[in-house]
Structure 1
Amino acid sequence: MLKRSGIPPYPQFYELLYTYATGVNPTLNNRINSIFRAGDSPSLSLAEALYNEFLKSDVNDRISNVSERMHARIEAVHDAIDTAMTTANSYSGSLQAASGDLGREITAEAMKQLAERLLSETRRMQDTNQALEIQLEASRDDIASLQRDLDDVRRESMLDPLTKIANRKSFDEGLATAIAEASKGSSPLCLLLLDIDHFKNFNDTYGHQTGDQVLRLVAMTLKSNIKGKDLAARYGGEEFVAILPSTDIEGAMIAAENIRKAIQAKELLKRSTNEKLGRITASFGVAAFRPSDTGATLIERADRCLYAAKHAGRNRVISEIDLAAIQAA
C-alpha cells in the first residue's frame, strides 16, 4: 500500500497502514476508506496528518485533552445556568413588585409603564432562556463527541502500543470474564500461551527494529488465526496468549498447531539489503479450564506446558494431555 500510494516507507507510515490493515482502530479505517471512496490521491502530507491525528499522541495526552474539553464545556453550562438563575430571580422580583403595584389604585400612565416594564423583563427572560437552550444543545453535541473520544481512548488503552493487539490489562479483564462465563455454564474454555523461540538471539543479531517487526508479525498471525469471541494478547516480552472460549482442548490444540505452522511459514527478509533472515518459530502451551480454576492457576498450567514444549526442542505444541502422558512415561 505504501508503494502504490507513493508514500515513503518510514516507520510512522508503516505503523499507520499496519494499524489500518489490522482493523483495530475503526475510526481510522472509516477515515481512510472514505478517502479511498472519494478518489483522493494519497500523499505524504495526508499520511502525516492521519498519523498525527490517530497515532502520534499517546493515551495520556488524549485523556488530558478530553478532560480539558469536558471541563470547559461544564464551565460554559454552569455560566449559562447562573445567568439564567440571576435573570429568573430578577424577573421574579419584578413580578412581585408589579403585584404590589396592582394591589393599589394606579393611573393609566402608571399601568402603561408597568406593562412595558413587565414586557421588557419577559423578553429579557425569553432571551436568556433561549441562550441557555442553545448552550445546552451545543453541550449535548459536545458531550456526545467527548464520549466517542473517551471510547476511542479506552480502546487504545487496552491495546499493546507495538503490536496493536490486546495488552496485558485487556487480557486480564478478558480472562476474568471468560472464566466467569465458563463457570456459569458447561461450555469449555482453553488458554493458549506461546513464546517466540530464541527471540533474544534474533534481537541481538539483527537489532531491535527487526525484532519489533517480528513481534508485530507474530501478533498479526496469532490474531488472524483465531475466531470471533477469542482474544489474542501480548502477555509480555516475546510471549503471547489467546483466550479461546467455547473451545475444548482438542480444538485448542488444532488452533495452536495452525498458528505454529503459519508463523513458521513466514520467511523474514531485511528489505534494506534483501538479506534473508530465515524463519521464526514459536513454542506453545495449551491448558483447559477446570471448575476450581482461577486465572492464575489456568495460566500456571499453560505455562508449564509451554516450558515442556521448550524443553522438548521448541517449535511444537504441548497440551495438558501431552504433559500428563510425558510425566506418566
Structure 2
Amino acid sequence: MGSSDDFDKVIAVARKAMDRMLSDRLPPNPENFTLWFVYYSGLNPDLTRAVDIASRDGIALSQSLAEELFKRFFSLEAEAQAIRETSDRARYALGRVLEQLGAVGSETERYGNALVGFQDELAQPLNLGELRAMVAAIAAETMGIVDRQLALQTQIQESSNQLAEMRVSLDSARREALTDGLTGIANRKAFDLMLLEAMEEARRDDQPLSLLMVDIDHFKSFNDTHGHLVGDHVLKLVARMLTECIKGRDTAARYGGEEFSIILPRTNLDSATRLAEQIRSFVGGRQIVNKARNANYGTVALSIGVGQFRPGENSLSLVRRADEALYRAKRNGRNRVSVEDANETV
C-alpha cells in the first residue's frame, strides 16, 4: 500500500477475516477469505448489510450461506470466465477460416498461373495426345481449386455453427449469472441492474415506479422446526407465488435469504400497496404442502414494505425506504403491509 499505516490496516482486516472463518468453522479457502476480507474492510456496503441482517436474524453463517453470499456478490468472475473461454473459441474458429482463406488465395494464384501457362501452350501446334494431356491437366487443376473452395465453404459453415453455439453459451452464462440458483427467479445482481433500468425509464418517461420488499415471517423458526430442505421448498413456493401475482413488465427477485423484492414500473404508491395486500393475502391463504412426502406444513405469512421512486434519488435510497417500511411492518406485528414514510426526505 502507500504507507505503513495502510499496511497495518490491511493486516488487521486480514486477521479479522481469518478469525471469523475460525470462529464460524469455515474452511479458509480463497472464496471465504475474499468474502470476509471485503466484509471487514467495508468495501461492499450491500455485502455488509446482508451479513448483518443474517446475524441480526440469528441465521448461522454456515458454509452454504457463505457460498451463496460469494456467488451473489462476486459472481461476475464466472461470467467473465465464460466470456474469456468463448473469446478463445471464437479466435480459434476464425483462425481456421483465415487459414483456409490464405490457402485458397495461394491456390487461386497458382491456378491462375497454370491457366496462363496452358493458354501459352495452346497457342502452339499440338497433336491429339498433347491436347488430351493438356485438357486432363486443366481439369485436374480446376478440380483442385473446386475442392479448395468446397473445403473453405465447409470450414466457414463449421465456424458459423461454432459461433452460434458460442452465442447460446454466452446467453446461457448471462442468464445463469442473473438467476437465483434455488428459486429460479432473478437474483440480487439482476435486481440491482433491473432497478437501475426501471429508474432510468421512470425519469425519462415521467412515470411512477414502486418497489416492494417482502420478507417471510418467522422463517428461522420454520427452518428450525422443519429443517432446511423444507425451508428451501418454502422459498421456491413463495417465489413461484410472487411471480403468479405480477404482470409481464414487473420483476420478482430474491433479494437474499428469505427476503424478496418486486420492481413495479409504471405503478404508483396506491396501486403498489393494493398489490402488496393481494400478494400477502394470496400467499397467506395457500397451504404449504409437499406432495412427494404427503406433508402439510400449514401456511406462511409475509411482511411487505412499499416504497415509491422519487425523482433525484438513487437506488439505495429507494431500497432503504422500502426496507424500513418492511421492518416497520414486522415491528407492528408482522403479516401486514407497511408504506414508506411520506415525510422522509430523499
Give TM-score, length-normalised by structure 2.
0.66
Distance 1:61 1:212, change over 3 A: farther
Residue 33 of structure 2 corresponds to which residue in structure 1?
none
Matches within 5 A, 1:82-161: 82-95=102-115, 101=120, 106-108=124-126, 112=131, 116-161=136-181
Moved over 6 A (4+): 58-69
**Residue 256 in structure 1 maps to residue 276 in structure 2:** yes
State the SS of the aligned residue for 1:195: strand
* Separation of aligned partners in 1, 2:100 and 2:304: 61
Matches within 5 A, 1:183-222: 183-222=203-242
Specify the code of the residue in structure 2 equivalent to 1:300: R
**Residue 312 in structure 1 maps to residue 332 in structure 2:** yes
Residue 183 of structure 2 corresponds to which residue in structure 1?
163
Query: In the TM superposition, what is the alpha-carbon distance from 1:117 to its structure 2 partner?
Result: 3.6
Per-residue deviation, residues 101-157 of structure 1 (Å, max 9, x unmatched): 56x974425984666544432321122112212332343344334434433443233
Matches within 5 A, 1:32-47: none
Distance 1:271 1:130, change over 3 A: closer
The total of aligned residue pairs comes to 265
* Separation of aligned partners in 1, 2:311 and 2:342: 19
Query: In the TM superposition, what is the alpha-carbon distance from 1:62 to its structure 2 partner?
Result: 8.4
State the SS of the aligned residue for 1:200: helix
Distance 1:105 1:149, change over 3 A: closer
Per-residue deviation, residues 235-254 of structure 1 (Å, max 9, x unmatched): 11111001000100000001
Per-residue deviation, residues 226-274 of structure 1 (Å, max 9, x unmatched): 1110001111111100100010000000111111111111223455765
Identity of aligned residues (%): 39
**What residue ranges of structure 1 are gaps of 5+ in the alignment?**
1-57
**Residue 244 in structure 1 maps to residue 264 in structure 2:** yes
Query: In the TM superposition, what is the alpha-carbon distance from 1:70 to its structure 2 partner?
Result: 5.1
Residue 47 of structure 1 corresponds to which residue in structure 2?
none
**What residue ranges of structure 2 are gaps of 5+ in the alignment?**
1-77
State the SS of the aligned residue for 2:298: strand
* Separation of aligned partners in 2, 1:201 and 1:70: 51
Query: In the TM superposition, what is the alpha-carbon distance from 1:187 to its structure 2 partner?
Result: 1.2
1:265 is matched with which residue: 271, 285, 294?
285
Distance 1:117 1:134, change over 3 A: same
Query: In the TM superposition, what is the alpha-carbon distance from 1:77 to its structure 2 partner?
Result: 2.9
Tell me how large the CA RMSD over aligned residues is: 3.2
Give TM-score, length-normalised by structure 1.
0.70
